[in-house]
Amino acid sequence: MEDKTRGCSTSEDSDDEVYLQNASDEEELHFLSGSMPKLQLRNVKSKSCWIEEMGMGEVIEKNGKTWVTTGIVRSDKIYSSIEETLYLMELGDLLLLDTDGRNIPLTEMYKKVSDKKNGCRWELFEVYRHLKSLGNIVGRHGVAWSLKSIKNSYKPVDLEVTEESILVHMSSNKYELSISKLFGELQINDLRPDFYVYLPNSRFRKSSPADPSFLLYLCR
C-alpha cells in the first residue's frame, strides 16, 4: 500500500513505485553542462516549494525513501539545497512549485545554478550528481543534517553555529531562516571541503549520521 505523507513529516519509512519514460527534448537541450540522466517520470512525486529568499526548497509533500538521505531537518520540516532539489527534479522524483503554486521547470533551476547563487555552481552540481548516481549519501559540508545530530555530538570541525542560530522561526507567514544565511554564505575555497560523503548505508539516519566516509574538495 502506498504510504503518502503530506506536510513536512520526517518519517523515513515510505516508498513509491517507479515508472520510467524518456526525458523531453527541450529539457535535454537546455541542460547546460555534463550529461543529463534519463528523466524518470513517477506516478507519485514529492512536492516542494522553492523559497527564493532561502535559496532552498521546503518539502510540502514527501513520498518514498528519498528524504531519508536528502535534505536537512529543522523544526520538523525538511529543506533541500539547490543541488538536492535539481537532482531530484532531473530524476522526475520531485515537483517544484513557487510560492504562487506555479510549477518551476528544470530550465529555470538550471539558470539558478549557472548564476552561481545559493552556494552552488555547475562544477559542484556535477560532482554532487555523480556521487549520488553511485548511491552515496552526500551533504553540504558545514551544515548539520538535523539539530538532533548536533545534540548527538555530531560536530563538524568548521561548523561555527549554535543550535539557536539555526532554528526556524515563522512570524506572520514570513520566513526568518538563519539556515538560508548559513547556506548562502558557504563561500567554498581551496582549503574548505565541499561535501560530506557517506558510502551507501541502509542504516543511515540524519539524527545520528556518524562520521562521513570522506570529505570531498573540489580543486579550483
Per-residue pLDDT of the chain (220 residues; tens, 9 = 90+): 444 444 444 443 333 322 223 333 333 333 444 455 555 555 669 999 999 999 999 999 999 999 999 999 998 999 999 999 999 999 999 999 999 999 999 999 999 999 887 889 999 999 999 999 999 999 999 999 998 877 664 444 433 333 443 344 344 344 444 555 555 555 544 478 999 999 999 999 999 999 999 999 988 6
Identity of the amino acid at 94: L
What total number of domains does the chain contain? 1
The string over 168-183, giving b where at least 16 C-beta atoms fall within 10 Å of a residue's C-beta and e elsewhere, is beeeeeeeebbbbebb
| Ordered alpha helix ranges (H), the chain | 25-29, 82-90, 106-114, 122-133, 147-151, 178-184
Distance separating alpha carbons of residues 33 and 19, to the nearest angstrom: 26
Residue 4 DSSP SS3: strand
Give the CATH number, domain containing residue 180.
3.40.1170.20
